[in-house]
Chain A
């Protein structure tokens, strides 16, 4: 099993350009997440998808859109990149969201390092 995979690993964009970060998991997980990691800020949730067909905003959704293409894939799109979106982006998945006294651990991809100039 590859676990959670992300493409690309690195990307440099100019301000105003658009791009899509791809994420796929092969663990048959229901829930998927997108985070950004910035120095001194820890991980901040951008969007998540509790199950196929649903998406919800996290802590910092502005400037981003997501698509849960199917159970395996969850993409993050930057329509018009800004320097403030320079960050490392992580995708994660879990069997489900916490509910009913059960909380599953999240599995993370290797990250995409994005620079916007």
Chain B
């Protein structure tokens, strides 16, 4: 089973903003600032969009932003575009030999 909890789906219209939550525990999300977010289009490999809670890799638009409060991390996408429609997964470092845990994924629909 997935260790991090995400909403199954979110939606928004072009130009709007959406936020996807990712709830973990004090052993993963709450313990480390190593939360990352991935975008996955159908049939494609995941693409890193946010790492270390709020940092963007080179080439990722600044419409994508990340934050964290307590045991919950969030991904916000502003100025929604059609190409943002995809599945989004959060991931957190969990320390020790557990190391990495993923969320269950959220399907973003651009209306």
Partners in one complex: no
Which A residues have a C-beta under 8 Å from some C-beta of B?
none
B residues at A contact (CB < 8 Å) = none
